[in-house]
Chain A
Amino acid sequence: VTDALLEFLSVGAERDGREAEFASRLAENQQRVFRIAYSVLGNSADAEEVAQEAFLRAYQKSSLLRDPEKFRAWINRIGFHLALNRLRLSRRQMARDHAWHLTAPESTDGERNAEDRLMLARMREEIDKLPRQLRDVLLLSIVNEMDAADVGAALKIPAGTVRSRLHTARKLLLKAMR
């Protein structure tokens, strides 16, 4: 019984430490992971679910991550792939969300905002038409806290390739949006 109690207490202490470390990582990364998911899905509720799932998986598989320094790239990648999977599974649902985006009432400059909403919806459609490699780079690059190195780490490609693909993606998008 004593051994079991000691083991329980030590496991409990270890668990508490792990939880504290995880909570700190969550605070540090949650905004970015959420926005990665949001850039793909365009819907807050879905983005939150995906971000939560990403953190849950990261927590459960954290023993597999040998280098804790790589957590940022790791969680970005998990979040992005989960969002892409969710997008594939719920195309119909996304169509409804886009409609919501178009009609969402906004506060200050209503007319201008409605115009922006239309442009955003069109932009999203055009991004969806881009080749996958270009689209992935573009969607990750527009997230505020993601630089070329982050995007490269998430997609496992060099930062130079990220810059080159981003330029091509922007050029195609500009051509389509003109």
Chain B
Amino acid sequence: MKTNCEKWNEAMLEAALSDHGNPQLDEHLRACSSCAQELLVFRAARQRMDALLPKLANEASPREQFSAQVLHATRASMPGKWRRISMLTAAPVLIALVLIIVLRHPSGSSAELAKAEQLARWHAPTDALLETPGQDLLRAMPQFGETYLKPQALSAKEN
């Protein structure tokens, strides 16, 4: 291609790609055999490109087992699958456990109550040392007209 023909490069590329006629280019090509040859080269390259380009994507296909493989993978990754299965099996197990606990400890709450009562009744061994003779007197409030000191009446035998 001659140096002054470079301005036709873009038009020749367009012509090679679109196959649409360009009157100005056609006129130039009639006068310039070099550019006419160049256009033929472009068109051959375009044909080659069009034949090969689809191969970049379509020459291969997935294997036959592809869909089975994908379905298997989706099942394996299924969220909540095991949760649902465990929910179904865990419910009876949980009920059985509760029953076992209740049956083994029928008075679970009353046993705890008895322990609490026992604890309430407990006295330290040194409590006896703190007792005073007047304590019995102080335990009961005297009624009106009575005194803390209540002499007991002598029985007939003592008399």
Residues of A within 8 A of B (CB): 1, 4-5, 7-8, 11-12, 15, 19, 22-23, 26-27, 30-31, 34-36, 38-39, 42, 44, 47-48, 51-52, 55-56, 59-60, 116, 119-120, 123-124, 127, 139, 142-144, 167, 170-171, 173-175, 177-178
- The answer on a CB contact under 8 Å between A11 and B66 is no
Q: A38-B60, A167-B17, A170-B17 are in contact. List 14 more A-B contacts (CB 8 A).
A: A1-B92, A19-B74, A22-B71, A34-B62, A36-B57, A38-B57, A48-B62, A55-B70, A116-B55, A123-B56, A139-B56, A142-B53, A142-B57, A174-B16
Interface residue B126 (Cβ < 8 Å from any Cβ of A)? no
The answer to whether A120 and B66 touch across the interface, beta carbons within 8 angstroms, is no
Q: A31-B61, A56-B74 are in contact. Are A8 and B88 (CB under 8 A)?
A: yes
Query: Does B6 have its Cβ within 8 Å of any Cβ on chain A?
Result: no
Q: Given the known A-B contacts A42-B56, A51-B62, A52-B66, are A171 and B14 also in contact in the complex, defined by CB atoms under 8 Å?
A: yes
Q: How far is the CA of A22 from the CA of B78 in the complex (A)?
A: 13
Main secondary structure of the interface of A (DSSP, over half): helix
Report how many residues on chain B are interfacial, defined by Cβ distance under 8 Å. Answer: 39
Min C-beta distance of A22 to chain B, whole Å: 7
**Closest CB in chain B relative to A136 CB, distance in Å:** 13
The contact of A178 among B45, B53, B54, B79, by CB within 8 Å, is B45
| Residue from A1, A11, A120, A170 in contact with B91 in the complex, judged by beta carbons closer than 8 Å | A1
Partner of A48, one of B52, B63, B71: B63
Q: Could you write out 14 A-B pairs with CB less than 8 Å apart?
A: A8-B87, A22-B74, A31-B61, A31-B62, A35-B61, A36-B57, A47-B60, A48-B62, A51-B70, A52-B69, A52-B70, A60-B74, A120-B55, A144-B54
Decide if B54 touches A60 in the complex (CB within 8 Å): no
A13 to B159, CA, bound (A): 101
Tell me whether A59 and B74 are in contact (CB under 8 A).
Answer: yes
Determine if B49 is an interface residue (Cβ-Cβ < 8 Å): yes
A-B pairs with the 10 shortest C-beta distances?
Answer: A39-B57, A34-B62, A143-B57, A59-B74, A35-B57, A44-B60, A142-B57, A178-B45, A55-B70, A8-B88
* Cβ 8 A contact of A144, one of B16, B57, B77, B88: B57
How far apart sit A55 and B58, CA to CA, in the bound complex (Å)?
Answer: 19
Complex alpha-carbon distance, A8 and B13, angstroms: 65
Contact of B67 among A27, A38, A124, A170 (CB under 8 A): A27
Contact B77 A34 (CB under 8 A): no
The reply to whether B67 and A23 form a contact with Cβ atoms under 8 Å apart is yes
Closest Cβ neighbor of A8 among chain B residues: B88
- B77–A56 contact, CB under 8 A? yes
* Complex Cα–Cα for A81 and B149 (A): 103
Contact: A60 with B77, CB < 8 Å? Answer: yes
Q: Is the CB of A48 within 8 A of B91?
A: no
